[in-house]
Structure 1
């Protein structure tokens, strides 16, 4: 995955996931922000608190499969905890 500031669509486990990186220039351990759910997104957080955090930290926004700007799986059964965790482990 690219690790520069910007918005990305990354294919993980055959699903296109939305990721945004801010504050890379801070060279800190990334703070990964995941929305609540099910079905949540990061629209509000990314426009309110996120920019303040990115002034001092590297912030990685991640929207899970089928949520926000990430792609929905072909099957409604493809949302198990195992699949969500496996996706998350592969984002960086």
Structure 2
């Protein structure tokens, strides 16, 4: 808890055109957690796909994220069935019965659409770790153009 508070105080983004927001958006019928950070909301967007499944790491990405937030808007998504997303939806899906690779890809597709609309973008950058790489790679392979 102490470390989290210290990280917030030392790394909180306060730039006039910046963003430092934890929020929930509805994806695939569930409210899913996003941590969106960047010095300028007009910068290109990176969506971070964590490993796992069920390996959310928003609390640790500050380590490398700091090097990206000057040039990018960094979106850390806690996928269906894990982290804050799980706890927000545990009453409707306590045993993670809706979690699947295919559903995660549908959620990601909706997330891309949401972010493009919200930040007026035509495309985003997908950055994946471990399981997240598999999700992002298939989305890229199936994307038009």
Please indicate the TM-score interval, normalised by the length of the shorter structure. Answer: 0.7 to 0.9
Contact 1:24–1:59 (8 Å) recurs in 2? no
Contact 1:13–1:87 (8 Å) recurs in 2? yes
Q: How large is the Cα RMSD of the aligned pairs? A: 1.9
Name the TM-score, length of structure 1 as normaliser.
0.81
Distance 1:86 1:36 in 2: 17
Name the TM-score, length of structure 2 as normaliser.
0.54
Map of 1:1-92 to 2, 5 A cutoff? 5=19, 6-23=21-38, 25=40, 27-42=42-57, 43-45=59-61, 47-71=62-86, 72=90, 74=93, 75-91=95-111, 92=114
Q: Which runs of 5+ in 2 are unaligned?
A: 1-17, 115-145
Contact 2:47–2:77 (8 Å) recurs in 1? yes
More helix by share: 2
- In the alignment of these two chains, the number of paired residues is 88
Higher RCO, 1 or 2 (CA under 8 Å, sep at least 6)?
1
Q: Which runs of 5+ in 1 are unaligned?
A: none
**Rg (Cα) greater in structure:** 2
Contact 1:26–1:56 (8 Å) recurs in 2? no
